[in-house]
Amino acid sequence: AAKRDQLYSLILRYLDLSKVYQRMALSMGRGAADPIIEHIGLLEILERRDAEGACKMVRRHLELTMAELLSLFNEHQKKEQS
């Protein structure tokens, strides 16, 4: 039961963190379509039990997210310096 509680707590924490990212993504103009398409694609890959495909997709998603965040932070710094 303790492991289940820990997992539940971890899931809730990441859901809270994802809300911050979702607000940021919408404010950057990426919109809601891309994440929905990505998640549908990931579910399809997982249904096929394609671990390698899932890893590639998640890696691509994280790299895109990192690039978007870096761009957002760089824009914010430029505005503060102006």
pLDDT tens digits along 64-81: 878 877 887 788 788 888
* Torsion angle in degrees (nearest 10) through CA of 43, 46, 48, 54: 110
Winning range, highest mean pLDDT, from 25-34, 44-53, 58-67: 44-53
Token duo for residue 38: 């990505």
CB 68 within 8 A of CB 28: yes
Token duo for residue 46: 């997982």
pTM over 0.75: no
The DSSP 8-state label assigned to residue 59 in this structure reads H
